C-alpha cells in the first residue's frame, strides 16, 4: 500500500512564499519608482530635443527664422509653440505644438531666463541657451541639460538638480 500523499501547499509553505514575495516587493518598489521618474525625464528631454531640431530644420529649409516659445521661462515642457517669425512679406505660421505634464524645465542664456529660442534662417542662434529638464516631484532623480550652441548644435547631458523643480537648478 502506498501512503497518503496530499496535493497542495501546507500552511507553512504558503507563509514562506508570501513572506518572500513581500520582501521582493518591498525592495523593488522604490527602485521601480525611481526608474519611472528617470524614464519620464529622458522621454521629455528627447521630445524637447526633437522639437528644437525640428525648428532648426524648418528654419533652414524655409529660409526664415523659426521660434520655439514656452509659456514661461520655468515651463519649457508645457505648451511649447513652434512657429515662423512674422516678416513684412509673410505672417507668422504655427508649425507644431508640444505638451507634457508632471515635469519642469527652465531655459536660460547669458543674459538670464528665456522663454523663446529663435533659430535664424541658417540654423544658428544669437546666444548659447541651456534648458534643464527635471522631475517636479522627485529632486533625487537626475535631470537632463540641453545645451544649444550658437551654431544650433544641441548637446544633452545629465545634471543633478539642487531642489524640486520650481527652478530646476
Distance CA 83, CA 66 (A): 6
Predicted confidence at residue 59, as pLDDT, reads 93
Region class of 127: left (phi > 0), else alpha (psi between -120 and 50), else beta: beta
Question: Tell me, what's the pLDDT at 55?
Answer: 93
More confident residue, 6 or 16: 16
State the pLDDT at residue 165.
43
Q: What's the topology of domain 11-159?
A: minor pseudopilin epsh fold (3.55.40)
Q: In angstroms, rounded to a whole number, what is the distance separating the alpha carbons of residues 122 and 78?
A: 27
pLDDT in tens, 115-132: 888 999 999 998 998 888
DSSP label at 166? T
Flag whether pLDDT at 46 surpasses 70: yes
Residue 51, Cβ density class (10 Å: 0-12 exposed, 13-18 middle, ≥19 buried): buried
More confident residue, 125 or 98: 125
Using one digit for the tens of pLDDT, what is the confidence trace for 103-119? 566 666 655 778 888 99
Domain ranges of the chain: 11-159
SS3 156: strand
User: What percentage of the chain exceeds 90 in pLDDT?
Assistant: 27
pLDDT higher than 60, residue 102:
no
pLDDT, averaged across the chain: 80
Alpha helices in 7-158 (DSSP H): 11-62
Amino acid at each position: 500500500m502506498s501512503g497518503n500523499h496530499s496535493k497542495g501547499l501546507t500552511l507553512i509553505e504558503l507563509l514562506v512564499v508570501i513572506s518572500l514575495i513581500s520582501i521582493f516587493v518591498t525592495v523593488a518598489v522604490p527602485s521601480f519608482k525611481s526608474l519611472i521618474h528617470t524614464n519620464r525625464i529622458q522621454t521629455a528631454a528627447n521630445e524637447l530635443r526633437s522639437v528644437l531640431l525640428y525648428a532648426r530644420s524648418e528654419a533652414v529649409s524655409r529660409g526664415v527664422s523659426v521660434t520655439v516659445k514656452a509659456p514661461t521661462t520655468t515651463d519649457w515642457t508645457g505648451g511649447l509653440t513652434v512657429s515662423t517669425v512674422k516678416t513684412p512679406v509673410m505672417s507668422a505660421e504655427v508649425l507644431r505644438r508640444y505638451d507634457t505634464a508632471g515635469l519642469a524645465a527652465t531655459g536660460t542664456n547669458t543674459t538670464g531666463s528665456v522663454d523663446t529660442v529663435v533659430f535664424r534662417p541658417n540654423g544658428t542662434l544669437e546666444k548659447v541657451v541651456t534648458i534643464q529638464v527635471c522631475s517636479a516631484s522627485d529632486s533625487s532623480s537626475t535631470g537632463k541639460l540641453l545645451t544649444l550652441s550658437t551654431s544650433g548644435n544641441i548637446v544633452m547631458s545629465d545634471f543633478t538638480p539642487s531642489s524640486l523643480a520650481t527652478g530646476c537648478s
